[in-house]
Homo-oligomer: A and B are copies of this chain.
Amino acid sequence: MKTLRVNMDRLEAKWESVLPEYERLGGRALIAKILLTEVPPQCEPLGPNNKLIFAPGLLGGTSLSSSGRLSIGGKSPLTGGVKEANCGGNGSSDLARLGVKALVVEGQPADEKLYQLCISGTGVELLPADEWRGLGTYATAAKAQERWGADCTVISIGQAGEFLMSAAGVVCTGHGEQNSRVAARGGLGALMGSKGLKAVVLNSSGADALPLADPELFRVSARRFAKELVESPKTGRKGAMHTYGTSAIVAAVNEMGAFPTRNFSEGSFETAENLYGQRLREITLERGGKVGTTCMAGCVIACCNVFVDENGKPVVSTLQYETIGLLGSNLGIGTLDEIAHLNRLCNDFGLDSIEAGASLGVAAEAGLARFGDKDSFVSLLEEITEGSVLGRVLGQGAAVTGRVLGVSRVPVAKGQAMPAYDPRALKGNGVTYAASPMGADHTAGNAFGARREVNPLGTEGQRELSLKLQLGAAMLDSTGLCLFARPPVYGDSQLMVDLINGRFGWGWSVADLEEFKKTVLKMELGFNEKAGLTLADARMPEYMTREPLPPHDTVFDVPEAELDAVFSAL
């Protein structure tokens, strides 16, 4: 595999051999290493010295189920630190099969125009795309597929990215219809916008299968991996994930009192039942939508859905838990139809639904919208796509929105909005939000799954749990595995090692894998330290340490010394 470097100053693309120090890295790990090696940590995130990196995980492009998460990264304009966000879809598989270990976009076009990059088996083309300026991601994908072929994968930004908004994500077309996969967090859409890149188009048709160092070991391991997924009570055909998708957990989080409600002022939502996974499944099937679909080819979990309106017309795919929390209960909105509408707008404008939902919640608290009134939030989202001053404020995320509007109840860590678990009622997530190099991010180490082992309301054991989860997430994010595919490998590191050795023949041991996970976090923490982040950034918002969250009336009280010690065992 090669590194594909695209220089936006000179508008040229070139293939390079992979540097030896990048060779055994992929996805999130590779992004951290490239940032540490090539990007000045103190650079302005939207200036010419930052780089936008797309990297398949180590196992991307293989036939392994659920291994196609595409990592996108750079220095975050939202947190000021390292950022990797990943998404499903076929982008990772396409890139890997096209021989791209990392696509590194550098510089900025002098003409401030927009460009499209097409990578296919026949070559790389970097062409003007200024005629797509102002288009949402649905229209951009349609135009790109019209130009390059209906089977292409299109990775694009919407208006939010063009406006350099920190709530802008990068949106990737997925497997199946209407499928928007979003590498949402940290403002990577703004970074892509700052590079003048409207879309990356991938066409891997006709590409050869990737070579395997030990085909037999890989095939045996991959088969076992898939079998365990299928047989797991969580991820199997009868499991909640396949049956209800991520929305399966609405009920449990609401019952825990950690379901963000009306700008994180309460932890359970009076009409949450209407948002339960069961309800989502019911409505969808009644109306002729789909459940149990996949976001990427060959995934045996199939947790996705195509949410349709009353006439059976697709609204959004896939409607997910975090979005239901942030654009639903957090805004006091109690129907899936309303949430799906807001979600579609976010996907189209290229907005992280978490960050945007948090901005809207803060705006409602400031009186600019009304909790429970969807239309008032639609108006605010339209301000974002219009680029009005209010829209530009909201589009910068919850922290800027709170500061500008004079609101002190702002649910962020390291400047990034919290996902749909209030840390006062799920304290392990609070530790992850505070400590993770990524800022408030559930995918960095979500304690929800461990709620029966570690008391979510207690302070004991939270930092140890968070570190364990963060190490696990670092492994998944670097190999390209979906977080939901963790059951087979969390209990059996040897299987993970076998998959890697089967693919590459590196002769890794379990100890090597453990070291690898630690290295990922160390690289990220190292970048952040050089960028100027300190333990003072590893904190919850002050109000959460003071303002009790109903119904448990707990505050976030994990001692600061515990937050400071999260990585001491690394």
Contact = CB atoms under 8 A, between A and B. Distances in A.
Contacts of A532: 533-537
Contacts of A44: 408, 541-543
B49 A542 contact: yes
Given A44-B408, A46-B408, A530-B536, A396 B389 contact: no
Contacts of A85: none
Interface string A380-396: 00000000011011001
A419 interface: no
A406 interface: yes
Contacts of A163: 406
A403 interface: yes
Interface string A139-177: 000000000000000000000000110100000000000
A158 to B, nearest CB: 15
A47 B289 CA distance: 48
Most chain B beta-carbon neighbours within 10 Å: one of A43, A396, A403, A543: A403
A533 B531 CA distance: 11
A404 B163 CA distance: 9
B164 A406 contact: yes
Copies in the complex: 2
Interface size class of A (residues with CB under 8 A): 20 to 34
Contacts of A42: 536, 539
A72 interface: no
A405 interface: yes
A41 interface: yes
Interface string A22-40: 0000000000000000000
A468 to B, nearest CB: 27
Interface in A479-494: none
Interface string A448-483: 000000000000000000000000000000000000
A191 interface: no
Interface string A255-289: 00000000000000000000000000000000000
A555 B290 CA distance: 59
A77 to B, nearest CB: 8
B531 A536 contact: yes
Nearest to A41: B536
B396 A403 contact: yes
Interface string A230-248: 0000000000000000000
Contacts of A404: 389, 392-393, 396, 400, 404
Contacts of A392: 404-406
Given A47-B408, A47-B543, A400-B403, 4 more contacts: A163-B406, A392-B405, A393-B393, A532-B536
Interface of A: 41-44, 46-47, 49, 163-164, 166, 389-390, 392-393, 396, 400, 403-406, 408, 530-537, 539, 541-543
14 contacts: A44-B408, A46-B408, A164-B406, A166-B403, A389-B389, A389-B393, A389-B405, A392-B405, A393-B393, A393-B404, A396-B403, A396-B404, A532-B533, A532-B537
